Amino acid sequence: MALVATGAFAGILAGLLGVGGGIVIVPVLFFLFQSFGVSPESAMVVATATSLATIVPTSISSICSHNQKGYVDFDLLKRWAAFILIGALAGSWLVTRVDGTWLTVMFGVIATLSALNMLFRTGKSALFQQLPGKAGQTGMGASIGFFSAMVGIGGGTISVPLLTLYNYPAHKAVGTAAAIGLIISLPGALTMLALGSTPTDAPAGTFGLVNFIGFLCIVPLTVLFAPVGASLAAKLDAAKLKKVFAVVLLITGLRMLVQLSL
């Protein structure tokens, strides 16, 4: 029931606020698996891999929706795809080799920075007028793939604020981020499934590092409830709700970091 609720919650937030499901799913699974008796280190690697697996079908659905509106920038994807893929493969391979503690630190930092960005930079003007040159864009694509795969998010959490810093249209940034999410999540999840060694205390239904019970519970509800969130966005003040979510995300990120010091 907790896993089903996670899928519904992630779907509503994705539709309502335009945030990626991974930024919700990873911390919920991290704390949920620990309540099942899983160690924090094992909980984090399984949460990361499982989150990436759930992003595969939801990103495909999102790509179709955004593409119908012309919001997916395929020219940008052609330039970035190979570097995102290389970064994602490197990051997901590293997940199968490092201690989960490092992943928890990285997620906590990214969640905290993402929350601060939502709280203080929403609506602010771009810092740059256009994207950097080829070398700069290569670094951006590889970094998005690497860090997103390592913490189990689809890329939107990093790519959308990064693109908008360079005066890139926000609606195209969100639509293109859906495609970036697929480039990251599919190879990332497969790498963690094939190369990851299942922790001895992993929750039932875990193969490699992917928990299939979590995957099967979360995905249908995420897909089902995303349109509900989109409908609510038209009726509620999404800007205020985004601030509330940012505060919750900030507390979550800090809590993950504080847990490591206890």
Q: Which tens digits make up the pLDDT trace of 229-249?
A: 767 766 777 677 778 778 888
Please give the Cα distance from 176 to 258 (Å, whole number).
Answer: 34
User: Residue 113 in contact with residue 254, Cβ under 8 Å?
Assistant: no
Backbone φ and ψ of 36, nearest 5° = -90, 0
Alpha-carbon separation of residue 237 from 146, 156, 227, 240, 244 (angstroms): 34, 22, 17, 6, 11
Please give the Cα distance from 251 to 28 (Å, whole number).
Answer: 13
Predicted TM-score of the model (pTM): 0.89
- Is a pLDDT exceeding 90 seen at residue 43? yes
Mean per-residue pLDDT over the chain, rounded: 87
Given this model, what pLDDT does residue 155 score? 73
User: Residue 84 in contact with residue 154, Cβ under 8 Å?
Assistant: no
Spell out the residues 6+ positions from residue 175 whose beta carbon is closer than 8 angstroms to its own: 63, 66, 67, 69, 71, 72, 73
Decide which of 221 and 233 is more confident. 221
User: Residue 147 in contact with residue 110, Cβ under 8 Å?
Assistant: yes
Q: Which tens digits make up the pLDDT trace of 55-72?
A: 888 888 788 877 888 888
- Which residues on neighbouring strands pair with residue 210, listed in sequence order? 207
